[in-house]
A = this chain, B = another copy of it.
Amino acid sequence: MSSTGRTRNRRGQGEQLRQQILDAATTLLSQSGDADAVGMRAVAAACGITPPSVYAHFANKADLLRAATAELFDQFDRALAAAESGATDPFDALARRAHAYVQFGDDNPGIYRALFANTVLGRPAVGDDRAHPGSASFRELVAAVVRCVAAGAVVDRPGETLAVELWAGLHGIVDLRATKPEVPWPPAGLLTDDALTHLGLRPPRTKQPR
């Protein structure tokens, strides 16, 4: 079974395997986008070990995939946070975050699906979302929108409402384009910019247009 020639860890170094297993599960989950499609045998094989060895580090599949899902949430949150760095003002920051959101979904459809696929029906999803209510990224999005409102955005709704409307809009752009690729979609950037514009989350004009 150890055909890959993996050298076993030295005594006391057994914990290293835990990270390898988690990494393998995270990678497989980010590829399939579906926790049900990630098998314990596949995770073990990716690490060059036999399936029972996984159970020395994770109690069961649900535990392992919960940890893997948390890992992917972190990746997502970090990507959006990084996108904001270098922004010149709250509007620029929000726009960067919104574009990064869609870009991340496009670039990592498996991860996006693992985090945001509608799995509430039936089984409560193996990677339990309740521990991540929309993930930290939602709180950050609300904060970014609120900063725009404070900076003088001309809006007709409270910041929290605008934030969920923007979130729903961005989610729709990412998810529906992934689901229905045969539809002739305008460029993602245009859709994202329009969402921001329509919600009024643009810098206010210093002077009124003539």
For A179, what are the chain B residues with a Cβ–Cβ distance below 8 Å? 116-120, 129
- Decide if the interface of chain A is mainly helix, strand, loop or mixed: helix
For A36, what are the chain B residues with a Cβ–Cβ distance below 8 Å? 36
Interface residue A205 (Cβ < 8 Å from any Cβ of B): no
Closest B-chain residue to A125, C-beta based? Answer: B179
* Assembled-state Cα–Cα distance A11/B130 (Å): 54
Interface residue A172 (Cβ < 8 Å from any Cβ of B): yes
Interface residue A14 (Cβ < 8 Å from any Cβ of B): no
Interface residue A167 (Cβ < 8 Å from any Cβ of B): yes
Interface size on A, residues (CB 8 A): 50
Interface residue A180 (Cβ < 8 Å from any Cβ of B): yes
Interface residue A55 (Cβ < 8 Å from any Cβ of B): no
For A168, what are the chain B residues with a Cβ–Cβ distance below 8 Å? 169, 172-173, 176-177, 191
Q: Contacting chain B: which of A42-50, A77-85, A87-95, A182-190?
A: A182-190
Interface residue A138 (Cβ < 8 Å from any Cβ of B): yes
Q: Contacting chain B: which of A1-9, A58-66, A68-76, A157-165?
A: A157-165
For A170, what are the chain B residues with a Cβ–Cβ distance below 8 Å? 172
Which of A132-153 touch B at CB < 8 Å? Answer: 133-134, 138
Structural contact, B122 and A33, CB atoms closer than 8 A:
yes
For A190, what are the chain B residues with a Cβ–Cβ distance below 8 Å? 161
A168-B169, A176-B116, A194-B165 are known contacts. Are A182 and B134 too (CB-CB below 8 A)? yes
For A119, what are the chain B residues with a Cβ–Cβ distance below 8 Å? 179
